[in-house]
Amino acid sequence: MYTQSLSIPDGDPKGPRKVENPEYEAEFNARIDAGGFIEAKDWMPEKYRKTLIRQISQHAHSEIVGMLPEGNWITRAPSLKRKAILLAKVQDEGGHGLYLYAAAETLGVSRDELTEGLLSGKAKYSSIFNYPTLTWADIGVIGWLVDGAAIMNQIPLCKCSYGPYARAMIRVCKEESFHQRQGYDLLLQMMKGTPEQREMVQDAVDRWWFPSIMMFGPHDSDSVHTETTRWGIKRISNDDLRQKFVDATVKQAEVLGVSLPDPDLKWNEARGHYDFGTIDWEEFWDVVGGHGQCNVDRLAARNKAWDDGAWVREAAMAHAEKQAARALAA
Amino acid sequence: MERKEWPLWEVFIRSRNGLDHKHCGSVHAPDARLALQVARDVYTRRMEGVSIWVVKASDIVASDPDAKPELFDPAEDKIYRHPTFYQLPDEVNHM
Ligand SMILES: [Fe+2]
Ligand SMILES: [Fe+2]
């Protein structure tokens, strides 16, 4: 019901729906100002549509590529329990990707075009997944910090003005809490283990902390969000979300018994928030630009999976067509 | 890279007996049987449903959003269709 074209009655006084039209635009803005939702077949400015396609598909690609660093440890999970949990978590991320692709497709882009964007490297995904998972502790830290940061980012999106995206995000957010908790639980268990295991946890925290707080994106002073804010797509700024995440995480690190690798991290009574040190944005842009440790591997893995699966997709389609022809003949 | 994507199916789930099936999203699948299976994997990993319907997206007929006024506005001024339109004496107003 979302991607097939709707026939427009001839002689529509407002003209073709896709064309920019001040009357439509006024209605659209009024609905957003009233806190209402825009649905798939409603008129929307082309730029709103394009911005959403870019954001939702980047988000979907991140979920899909995000399966790779954790998938790396499924066969090496230290117990059957942890293996079952990790499998379920990674499967969820695949599901999130699929919810989001479906939401993007409601905007009139095909799944094949979206896939092509990822495989060709034209579309971006979250830079965090270009870091390697070196030890089992990384799996716990990803759940705790990376999923934790993702949750902060995603909760405001449940109220985004585009209905299909907002609904997909509600589904995603319901599942994310398990991701963060299983990661923290895994780390708690390791912290009760040997000194080597505790060191492993601290090492993982040291490597993932700054990349995790970079996940919120550039500082507000360096990013342009006027339109996404105007349109109710982005509701809370990068810096505000980052601050919220830092404030929430300090206590969790304390309970866990690890230190966060930032000497400038301290409570600021006047602000009522934690201050933290300078973020290395050069590293951030480097990874975005394709020069992270795993960019090449991630894209290669996705391309291989797509190519290796081609014969299955074709065979399934050929079988379905044959069955349909047979049913018609009978 | 030649691509031929699988058709799109809309997915409706009854979360428990006694409730309606409700639209929850869509999946791509080559046929109905696989669409059900994919829908199960994607939308019911935590016992969200007891029954699934899948419908080929191209088979769904939707109303035109531009026709909203002529379709739905006529109901707006028919307040006598609602129980609250009728003021009854206090003693019987629970009717
Ligand atoms: Fe996710
Ligand atoms: Fe997650």
Q: Which two tokens stand for residue A33?
A: 């100002």
Q: Closest residue of B to A319, CA-based?
A: B30
Apex A268 CA angle, A266 and A272, nearest 5: 125
Q: What's the Cα-to-Cα distance from B61 to each of A2, A109, B3, B57, B58, rounded to whole Å?
A: 10, 20, 27, 9, 8
Burial A285-303 (b: 16+ CB within 10 A, else e): eebbeeebebbeebbebbe
Task: State the distance from the centre of ligand 1 to the C-alpha of A105, rounded, in angstroms.
Answer: 18
Helix (H, G, I), strand (E, B) or coil at B11: strand
Segment A79-93 shows an average pLDDT of 97
Task: State the distance from the centre of ligand 1 to the C-alpha of A197, rounded, in angstroms.
Answer: 27
Q: Closest residue of B to A8, CA-based?
A: B64
Q: Which two tokens stand for residue A73?
A: 């440890």
With CB atoms and an 8 Å threshold, state whether A6 touches B64: yes
Query: Angle, to 10 degrees, between the axis of helix A111-119 and the axis of helix A46-65?
Result: 60
Cα B59 from Cα A4, distance rounded (Å)? 9
Name the residue among A12, A119, A317 with its Cβ closest to that of B30.
A317
Summarize pLDDT for A120-159 with one digit per residue, the tens.
999 999 999 999 999 999 999 999 999 999 999 999 999 9
Q: Which two tokens stand for residue B19?
A: 């409730």
Name the residue among B31, B46, B60 with its Cβ closest to that of A320.
B31
Q: Which residues, in sequence order, are CB contacts of A53 under 8 Å at separation 6+?
A: A104, A107, A109
Summarize pLDDT for B40-62 with one digit per residue, the tens.
999 999 999 999 999 999 999 99
Show residues of chain B in contact with A96, CB under 8 Å: none
**pLDDT computed for residue A10 by the predictor:** 38
Name the residue among A4, A98, A103 with its Cβ closest to that of B58.
A4
Mutate to test the interface with A, among B13, B28, B40 (most CBs of A within 10 A): B28
Strand blocks (E) in chain A: 266-268, 273-275
Interface membership of A291 toward B (CB under 8 Å): no
Show residues of chain A in contact with B41, CB under 8 Å: 91, 95
Residue A4's pLDDT band (cuts 50, 70, 90): very low
- Distance (Å) from the alpha carbon of B62 to chain A's nearest alpha carbon: 7
**Contact by Cβ (8 Å): A212, A137:** no
Segment A62-88 shows an average pLDDT of 97
According to DSSP, residue A79 is labeled: S
Q: How many residues does chain B have?
A: 95
The fraction of chain A above a pLDDT of 70, given in percent, is 94
Interface membership of A91 toward B (CB under 8 Å): yes
Task: State the distance from the centre of ligand 1 to the C-alpha of B61, rounded, in angstroms.
Answer: 32
According to DSSP, residue A130 is labeled: G
The fraction of chain A above a pLDDT of 90, given in percent, is 86
**pLDDT computed for residue A66 by the predictor:** 97
Cα A300 from Cα A237, distance rounded (Å)? 33
Residues of A numbered 174-233 whose beta carbons fall under 8 angstroms of chain B's beta carbons: which are they?
175
Show residues of chain A in contact with B10, CB under 8 Å: 1-2
Say how many CB pairs under 8 Å bridge A and B.
82
**pLDDT computed for residue A15 by the predictor:** 42
With CB atoms and an 8 Å threshold, state whether B5 touches A102: no
The fraction of chain B above a pLDDT of 90, given in percent, is 76
Name the residue among B10, B26, B45 with its Cβ closest to that of A91.
B45
Task: State the distance from the centre of ligand 1 to the C-alpha of A93, rounded, in angstroms.
Answer: 4
**Contact by Cβ (8 Å): A141, A73:** no
Show residues of chain B in contact with A91, CB under 8 Å: 41, 45
**Contact by Cβ (8 Å): A88, A77:** no
| Whether residue A16 has pLDDT greater than 80 | no
Cα A148 from Cα A141, distance rounded (Å)? 10
**Contact by Cβ (8 Å): A292, A126:** no
Q: What's the Cα-to-Cα distance from A202 to each of A199, A232, A257, B16, rounded to whole Å?
A: 5, 39, 9, 45
Interface membership of A1 toward B (CB under 8 Å): yes
| Whether residue A5 has pLDDT greater than 90 | no
Q: Which two tokens stand for residue A244?
A: 């919220």
Task: State the distance from the centre of ligand 2 to the C-alpha of A186, rounded, in angstroms.
Answer: 15
- Distance (Å) from the alpha carbon of A316 to chain B's nearest alpha carbon: 6
Distance of CA A27 to the CA centre of its chain: 31
| Whether residue B68 has pLDDT greater than 70 | yes
Cα A208 from Cα A132, distance rounded (Å)? 10
Name the residue among B3, B25, B65 with its Cβ closest to that of A102.
B25
Name the residue among A1, A88, A323 with its Cβ closest to that of B60.
A1
Closest by Cα among A133, A135, A129, A134 to A59: A129
**Contact by Cβ (8 Å): A245, A149:** yes
Residue A18's pLDDT band (cuts 50, 70, 90): low
Mutate to test the interface with B, among A39, A85, A93, A98 (most CBs of B within 10 A): A98
Which residue type sits at A85? I
Q: What's the Cα-to-Cα distance from A18 to each of A49, A114, A164, B28, rounded to whole Å?
A: 11, 21, 19, 26
